[in-house]
């Protein structure tokens, strides 16, 4: 299925959670921006100082004796100001300043440091000088003013320019402006971080919510198992009856019961599209949870490639299913009991055979399952991933139903759709999907009633809580 075909609107709340999930990434980029801008501002960029002299263009001295300023004179002066502006930056003036100050500088370099500001509609000329050395900047500004005034005398034969302000040695640099740079870099970091988070979310093609399962697989989610710290997952449903994971398995148990009205689901295969999504964990805990009711349950390890059930329960696997299948042991010989749960039996895989697929598809497998069905109310079967080997698809045709485990943020949409396709091909009865490793921490929307709405876990407590509150 193409991604954009199934693109749909995301709510404001989902946007919020997308950002929140990778908030660290956004913060990281803001910090990187700020630190980089700070380092560059303080250690890389050389400070630049700026100073200026202010000159005024007046009338020729002898003219002023009459003390009469006419409008025309003013206009003339303002026009003069423009002429003078060009003169200040002339090669003649510049070269002389360079020479007088004994600078080792080309005309171009010099010109870049000196600029002329004509204050509009006035007779004021500002000579502005920028340099890394504040003292040199001041010297250049003052010397330029002096040389310029000489030039006026030389070329115009008048003395009508006066210095109003001499250049002062600047105390603070005008550049760099660390705070401004840092602020800009921070904002850029923020924008880049947000962009990246959305890009990653877009590229992330994994199953994340029950909505995804419904959308891509047209299957219902019959259980949602929270993600817990690894060492706790194994048997938590039998060890800690009050934990959310146990609650989740109880809900799954109930949903399985109600998922088929006409036919009692007795033998159920647990599979997933790829390894490590939690098939063995789900199978073991589901079987354990069912056994805590009054049903007689068998947990059967049909993963003859990477068997795990014996590890989960800490059992010896030198004898198990494969011994039954090759005909030298019986069910009673190899079945374990778990603790004091009389109605919970476990059969481990037994020695790994060279031909697992053949054994799984064999007649003896079929007849063994028939025998097991006579002895137990429910049989939960752990299998290898359907997307890797055919074992679970083959098994699914001789059992009552199959459950696909999908792991949040791990199971790729493409893999699980393909896996489901393989099961559809052999006409398996897919009961539904169990979402595993559901994050219920503060950073996920699962915390905010998403699952409570779906009623997967914690629902009972929730209702009770509400009632009490009233
Ligand atoms: N709900 C969960 N929360 C945290 N870790 C889990 C959960 N379910 C499974 N795991 C871990 O994921 C890994 C794979 O689980 P497993 O049941 O062996 O997968 P599979 O049988 O599909 O290969 C194991 O390390 C297991 O402890
Ligand atoms: Mg397994």
Whether residues 276 and 244 fall in one domain: yes
Name the β-bridge partners of 386: none
Q: Which numbered ligand comes closest to the C-alpha of 407?
A: 1
Short-list 82, 113, 118, 81, CA closest to 98: 113
Whether residues 426 and 441 fall in one domain: yes
Angle among Cα 103, 104, 110 to the nearest 5 degrees reads 75
In angstroms, what is the span from residue 281 Cα to ligand 2's centroid? 7
In angstroms, what is the span from residue 422 Cα to ligand 1's centroid? 23
Structure tokens at 134: 């504040």
Question: Number of folded domains in the chain?
Answer: 3
381-424 pLDDT tens trace: 999 999 999 999 999 999 999 999 999 999 999 999 999 999 99
Instruction: State residue 441's pLDDT score.
Output: 65
Q: Which numbered ligand comes closest to the C-alpha of 403?
A: 1
Atom of ligand 1 nearest to the CA of 282: 17
CA distance linking residue 456 with residue 314, whole number of Å: 29
Q: Within a domain: residue 8?
A: no
Structure tokens at 441: 């921490």
Whether residues 224 and 90 fall in one domain: no
Whether residues 160 and 273 fall in one domain: no
Q: Within a domain: residue 171?
A: no
Tell whether the model's pLDDT for residue 263 goes beyond 50. Answer: yes
Q: Which numbered ligand comes closest to the C-alpha of 308?
A: 2
- Residue range of the domain that includes 129: 49-165
Buried b or exposed e, range 21-48, using 16+ CB within 10 angstroms: bbeebbeebbeebbeebeeebeeeeeeb
Q: For 48-57, 76-85, 345-354, which range has the lowest pLDDT when averaged over its residues?
A: 76-85
In angstroms, what is the span from residue 299 Cα to ligand 1's centroid? 17
Torsion angle in degrees (nearest 10) through CA of 334, 281, 362, 366: 80
Whether residues 144 and 275 fall in one domain: no
pLDDT band (50, 70, 90) for residue 466: very low
Q: Within a domain: residue 309?
A: yes
Atom of ligand 1 nearest to the CA of 283: 17
In angstroms, what is the span from residue 260 Cα to ligand 2's centroid? 26
Burial of residue 230, with CB atoms counted within 10 A of its CB: 0-12 exposed, 13-18 middle, 19 or more buried: exposed
Whether residues 376 and 403 fall in one domain: yes
Q: Within a domain: residue 96?
A: yes
pLDDT band (50, 70, 90) for residue 69: low
Q: Within a domain: residue 341?
A: yes
In angstroms, what is the span from residue 281 Cα to ligand 1's centroid? 6
Whether residues 107 and 246 fall in one domain: no
**Residue with the nearest Cα to atom 17 of ligand 1?**
278
Burial of residue 314, with CB atoms counted within 10 A of its CB: 0-12 exposed, 13-18 middle, 19 or more buried: exposed
Atom of ligand 1 nearest to the CA of 226: 1
Q: Domain of 365: which CATH number? A: 3.40.50.300
Whether residues 362 and 384 fall in one domain: yes
Whether residues 146 and 132 fall in one domain: yes
Q: Within a domain: residue 7?
A: no
Q: Which residues line ligand 1 (CB under 6 A)?
A: 225, 227-228, 230, 233, 272, 275-281, 308, 436-437
- Choice from 236, 249, 278 to test ligand 1 binding pocket (greatest atom count within 8 A of CB): 278
In angstroms, what is the span from residue 276 Cα to ligand 1's centroid? 6
Stronger pLDDT, 467 or 276, i.e. the higher one: 276
Q: For 152-156, 194-198, 317-321, which range has the lowest pLDDT when averaged over its residues?
A: 152-156
**Residue with the nearest Cα to atom 3 of ligand 1?**
227
Whether residues 253 and 122 fall in one domain: no
In angstroms, what is the span from residue 444 Cα to ligand 2's centroid? 27
Q: Which numbered ligand comes closest to the C-alpha of 274?
A: 1
Instruction: State residue 432's pLDDT score.
Output: 96
Q: Domain of 70: which CATH number? A: 3.30.70.1130
Instruction: State residue 452's pLDDT score.
Output: 46
* Mean pLDDT, all residues of the chain: 87
72-130 pLDDT tens trace: 777 777 777 888 888 999 999 999 999 999 999 999 999 999 999 888 878 889 999 99
Instruction: State residue 230's pLDDT score.
Output: 62
Whether residues 463 and 385 fall in one domain: yes
Q: Which numbered ligand comes closest to the C-alpha of 312?
A: 1
Instruction: State residue 228's pLDDT score.
Output: 82
Does this model's pTM top 0.85? My answer is no
In angstroms, what is the span from residue 442 Cα to ligand 1's centroid? 21
274-308 pLDDT tens trace: 999 999 999 999 999 999 888 999 999 999 999 99
Whether residues 180 and 215 fall in one domain: no
Instruction: State residue 234's pLDDT score.
Output: 63
Torsion angle in degrees (nearest 10) through CA of 446, 447, 451, 452: -170
In angstroms, what is the span from residue 329 Cα to ligand 1's centroid? 30
pLDDT band (50, 70, 90) for residue 232: low
Instruction: State residue 77's pLDDT score.
Output: 74
In angstroms, what is the span from residue 423 Cα to ligand 2's centroid? 18
Q: Within a domain: residue 4?
A: no
Atom of ligand 1 nearest to the CA of 245: 1
Average pLDDT (353-374) is: 95
Average pLDDT (25-44) is: 96
Tell whether the model's pLDDT for residue 15 goes beyond 90. Answer: no
Q: Within a domain: residue 270?
A: yes
- Choice from 223, 245, 276 to test ligand 1 binding pocket (greatest atom count within 8 A of CB): 276
131-168 pLDDT tens trace: 999 999 999 999 999 999 999 888 888 888 899 999 99
Structure tokens at 440: 């219920």
H helices present in 56-169, as ranges: 71-88, 91-101, 107-113, 134-156
Name the β-bridge partners of 347: 300
Q: Which numbered ligand comes closest to the C-alpha of 281?
A: 1
φ and ψ at residue 430, rounded to 5 degrees:
-80, 115
Q: Is the CB of residue 223 less than 8 Å from the CB of residue 252?
A: yes
Instruction: State residue 469's pLDDT score.
Output: 36
Atom of ligand 1 nearest to the CA of 225: 1
């Amino acid at each position: 299925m193409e991604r954009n075909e199934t693109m749909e609107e995301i709510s404001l709340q989902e946007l919020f959670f997308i950002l929140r999930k990778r908030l660290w990434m956004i913060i990281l980029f803001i910090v990187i921006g700020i630190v980089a801008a700070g380092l560059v501002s303080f250690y890389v960029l050389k400070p630049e100082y700026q100073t200026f002299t202010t000159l005024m263009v007046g009338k020729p001295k002898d003219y002023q004796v009459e003390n009469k300023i006419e409008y025309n004179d003013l206009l003339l002066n303002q026009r003069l100001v423009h002429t003078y502006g060009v003169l200040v930056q002339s090669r003649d003036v510049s070269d002389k300043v360079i020479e007088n100050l004994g600078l080792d500088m080309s005309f171009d370099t010099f010109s870049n440091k000196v600029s002329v500001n004509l204050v509009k509609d006035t007779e004021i000329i500002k000579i502005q000088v920028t340099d890394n050395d504040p003292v040199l900047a001041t010297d250049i500004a003052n010397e330029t003013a002096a040389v310029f005034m000489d030039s006026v005398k030389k070329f115009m034969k008048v003395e009508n320019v006066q210095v109003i302000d001499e250049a002062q040695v600047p105390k603070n640099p005008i550049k760099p402006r660390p705070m401004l740079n840092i602020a800009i870099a921070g904002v850029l970091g923020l924008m880049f971080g947000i962009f990246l988070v959305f890009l990653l979310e877009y590229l992330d093609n994994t199953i994340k919510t029950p909505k995804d399962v419904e959308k891509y697989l047209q299957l219902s989610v019959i259980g949602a198992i929270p993600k817990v710290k690894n060492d706790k997952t194994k048997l938590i449903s039998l060890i800690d009856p009050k934990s959310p994971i146990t609650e989740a398995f109880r809900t799954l148990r109930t949903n399985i019961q109600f998922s088929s009205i006409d036919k009692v689901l007795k033998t159920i295969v647990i599979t997933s599209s790829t390894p490590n999504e939690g098939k063995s964990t789900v199978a073991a805990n589901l079987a354990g949870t069912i056994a805590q009711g009054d049903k007689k349950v068998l947990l059967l390890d049909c993963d003859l490639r990477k068997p795990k059930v014996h590890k989960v329960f800490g059992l010896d696997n030198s004898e198990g299913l494969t011994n039954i299948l090759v005909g030298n042991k019986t069910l009673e010989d190899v079945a374990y009991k778990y603790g004091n749960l009389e109605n919970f039996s476990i059969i481990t895989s037994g020695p790994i055979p060279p031909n697992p697929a053949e054994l799984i598809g064999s007649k003896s497998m079929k007849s063994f399952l028939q025998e097991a069905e006579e002895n137990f109310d429910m049989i939960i079967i752990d299998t290898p991933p359907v997307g890797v080997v055919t074992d679970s698809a083959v098994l699914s045709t001789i059992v009552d139903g199959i459950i696909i485990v999908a792991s949040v943020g791990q199971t790729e949409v493409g893999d699980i759709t393909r896996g489901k396709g393989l099961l559809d091909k052999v006409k398996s009865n897919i009961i539904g999907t169990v979402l595993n490793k559901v994050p219920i921490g503060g950073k996920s929307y699962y915390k905010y009633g998403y699952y409570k709405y779906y009623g997967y876990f914690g629902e009972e407590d929730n209702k009770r809580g509400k009632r009490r509150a009233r």
